[in-house]
Amino acid sequence: DIQMTQSPSSLSASVGDRVTITCRASQGISSWLAWYQQKPEKAPKSLIYAASTLQSGVPSRFSGSGSGTDFTLTISSLQPEDFATYYCQQYNSYPITFGQGTRLEIK
Amino acid sequence: EVQLVESGGDLVQPGGSLRLSCVVSGFTFSRYWMSWVRQAPGKGLEWVANIKQDGGEKYYVDSVKGRFTISRDNAKNSLYLQMNSLRAEDTAVYYCAKLIVGSNYADYWGQGTLVTVSS
């Protein structure tokens, strides 16, 4: 199975900050990587797929990069609604696996 | 507007069975792979199963193989998850999700249904 490791596990930041979350795969997954946002008691929301393609309707302050084993999610200027937990997911091969999540909190 | 609505979650005893349903609207259900993903209380997301458009291919996480069965009824725009031999560790919110064409990326999710396995 491909293990997905996110860092950091939690992060405190302020509105307006630039934030980067990292996701590392235990083996190469090309660009078969997605990012999801989840707020408490809510369903996940799809943000980015194919490592860098923005889901329709997602603000352009979100961006993704990387290929192979190392990936990043960047939020260029944090907004109040961005405080949530973020998950990466590899869908290169079965079983599909998620990272453990990164909790983004208000400083 | 794409909508996915899960139902069927309940409190069930260990060893029991439950069938989850997901009714979809706003897209042509028969054209897309579908997925179930779960989230145990306070934990992260875990993929459970995928099913092809015609039901001819199915994939499962090892921990549910032989106990869970994913299925679909394209005439009813419905996705199902039959869960047998339930264990305490199956306690979770179960989400259905629509996958995009050509990959296992989920672009739309339901609101989830809670399954609690406890005596």
Distance CA B93, CA B14 (A): 17
Range A84-94 average pLDDT: 97
DSSP, collapsed to helix, strand or coil, labels residue B90 as: helix
Instruction: Decide if A46 and B109 are in contact by the 8 Å CB cutoff.
Output: yes
At residue B43, the pLDDT reads 98
Instruction: Decide if B95 and A44 are in contact by the 8 Å CB cutoff.
Output: yes
Q: Cβ(B100)–Cβ(A49) under 8 Å?
A: yes
pLDDT band at A34 (very low <50, low <70, confident <90, very high): very high
In chain B, whose CA is at the least distance from the CA of A96?
B47
Distance CA A66, CA A24 (A): 10
